[in-house]
Structure 1
Amino acid sequence: MSNARVAQEVQLVGMDISAMETLAAMHDELPFRGKQLFHWVYKQQVDSINAMNTLPSSFRDLLADEYVLHPLTLIKKTGSDLEPTQKFLLQLPYGEKIESVIMEEGKRVTLCVSTQVGCAVDCKFCATAKMGFIKNLTAGEIVDQYLLVLNSINKRITNVVFMGMGEPFLNYQQVINAADLLN
């Protein structure tokens, strides 16, 4: 699927349970189908709409035609599961790139997610400042970092920190929405 197509479609990752119930009702499905959809996206963390086998095939087909499950694409993974740090280069629907980082220490596996493409704060110690500010990420783009990285490693993520690219407080509402979905 091309990133241009993803950019034009509604993305499922980022919707809360209420939005998914509304989506189901819009397509003449009962509200509990929205709850099932939420379960598949955030609890089962599937990577394909077709894997959602408790949903009717007609609803799955409609979702696959009109919606996108994951807005991000994993471009590159640096480091192995044996190393304490791994970096993930991810591409957004319009081609911008962000990074997420896994850091392991003892029993803790911490995922550092980005909240913006670039940053306007211009901290002298930060390489992201050289990019300038490009855009805020949506809650879905923030959450999708977690989902894509989780499916790329053989470990349970124990902590998520909003310390990647960007200043989280300058994208406050989307960060709070993402934290709610991750919780």
Structure 2
Amino acid sequence: MAQTDFLQKYVDGLVEFTQLTQRRAEAIVRDGVKAGQVRQEQAQDKVQELLEESRKRSEKLAKRIRSEVREQVKSLNLATKNELGRLERQIEKLTKDLERQVDKLTKDGGGAAEKAPAKKSTAKKSAAKKAPAKKTAAKKAPAKKTTAKKTTAKKTTAKKTTAKKASAAKKA
């Protein structure tokens, strides 16, 4: 998942950008001491306070960004790693079952064996883009060849029958 790695690096970059370094915090407090806004006794406490506040803000920002990214990914209906893994395992299992059935049918002598009932898959529907399933060529049992016997039709000779004239023609 290259996109997730990119997003993680992006978030880490933002966190680093927002974090106040120890040196920078000390410089800010020194300027405050010179200006008379911070007493010398409070300087070290102020440095720690600034660093802690910076850390909290960075964590809060990172949390918001991760939450937003998660929501955006969810709205795209993308499959998670767990869902893809589950589907891959299910495909492997079904492929093995199919291969066993084909092997069993070929050992039994072709298509004379009873068909096993098809199993229904109870996979959760996900409208996300998924990796295409591996296509495996099913082993087919060789078909038995039978030669067709050609039968010849008997020819019969047609007999011509003469029609008898009606007796009404004689009376006239």
Normalized per residue, the structure richer in helix is 2
Greater gyration radius: 2
